């Protein structure tokens, strides 16, 4: 190692100095800067203060430099890893094709929120209902009913005995519950 190098070999140091000049992505440049500062003997706190990075980021890349893995600055992905894998997508597609009542829910149509909750319980992977909707759209699926897609309004139905049922949508709750409130809709004209 060079006399001024604390943890990097002279080859690693030259490589990082060469790449920092040409690197356009700030995330990669920051990785290189962290390792070079660590090599110059800076502490984690000093690196964080100088670069404005998180302690976790500084700790990770200082550790990579100490382990002799400075060359991996470009190979490791940037950002949070994807939590949704092929098995998750397959299960989502499967769930949408079934009635939620088959899984003990009191409602007849999935919502993105309930799909998210159900999949979190099954897989441990927690994603937002907005992300569920994006995934469904990418797969060409939706939680909306066929009638809703066609723009058919239930109020236009010829069924005069139509009732609206309101109840708590907790898993396992029965639609025959005594807490069920039936409302006869009325036509409201402006």
Whether 172 maps to a domain, the answer reads no
- Average pLDDT of the chain is 80
Instruction: Give yes or no for a contact between 114 and 105, defined as CB atoms under 8 angstroms apart.
Output: yes
Number of domains, the chain: 2
Whether 161 maps to a domain, the answer reads no
**When comparing pLDDT for 146 and 85, which is higher?**
85
Whether 15 maps to a domain, the answer reads yes
Once rounded to an integer, what is the mean pLDDT over residues 114-133?
Answer: 90
Helices (H), the chain: 10-22, 26-39, 44-51, 55-66, 86-97, 112-123, 129-138, 146-150
> Do 92 and 69 belong together in one domain?
no
> Do 40 and 100 belong together in one domain?
no
Whether 119 maps to a domain, the answer reads yes
Whether 170 maps to a domain, the answer reads no
Percent of the chain predicted with pLDDT > 70 = 72
What does the pLDDT read at residue 161? 55
pTM listed for this prediction: 0.44
114/45 Cα distance (integer angstroms): 43
> Do 95 and 149 belong together in one domain?
yes
> Do 94 and 127 belong together in one domain?
yes
Instruction: Give yes or no for a contact between 62 and 28, defined as CB atoms under 8 angstroms apart.
Output: no
SS3 73: helix
Band (182; pLDDT cuts 50, 70, 90): low
What does the pLDDT read at residue 152? 44
Band (31; pLDDT cuts 50, 70, 90): very high
Once rounded to an integer, what is the mean pLDDT over residues 32-61?
Answer: 94
Containing structural domain, residue 52: 10-73
Percent of the chain predicted with pLDDT > 90 = 48
Distance of CA 135 to the CA centre of its chain: 11
12/66 Cα distance (integer angstroms): 11
Whether 146 maps to a domain, the answer reads yes
19-56 CB burial, b ≥16 within 10 A, e <16: bbeebeeeebbbbbbbbbbbbeebebeebbeebebeee
Whether 182 maps to a domain, the answer reads no
Helix axes of 26-39 and 44-51: crossing angle, nearest 10 degrees = 140
> Do 107 and 140 belong together in one domain?
yes
């Amino acid at each position: 190692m060079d006399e001024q190098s604390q943890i990097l070999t002279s080859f690693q140091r030259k490589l990082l100095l060469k790449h920092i000049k040409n690197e356009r992505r700030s995330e990669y440049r920051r990785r290189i800067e962290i390792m070079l500062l660590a090599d110059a003997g800076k502490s984690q706190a000093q690196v964080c203060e100088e670069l404005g990075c998180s302690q976790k980021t500084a700790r990770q890349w200082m550790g990579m430099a100490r382990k002799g893995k400075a060359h991996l600055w470009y190979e490791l992905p940037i950002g949070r890893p994807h939590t949704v894998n092929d098995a998750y997508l397959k299960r989502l597609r499967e769930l949408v094709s079934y009635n939620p009542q088959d899984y003990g829910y009191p409602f007849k149509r999935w919502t993105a929120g309930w799909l998210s909750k159900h999949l979190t319980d099954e897989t441990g992977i927690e994603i937002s209902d907005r992300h569920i909707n994006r995934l469904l759209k990418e797969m060409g699926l939706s939680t909306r009913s066929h009638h809703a897609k066609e723009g058919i309004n239930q109020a236009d139905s010829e069924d005069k005995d139509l009732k609206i049922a309101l109840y708590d949508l907790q898993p396992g709750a029965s639609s025959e519950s005594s807490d069920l409130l039936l409302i006869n809709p009325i036509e409201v004209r402006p």
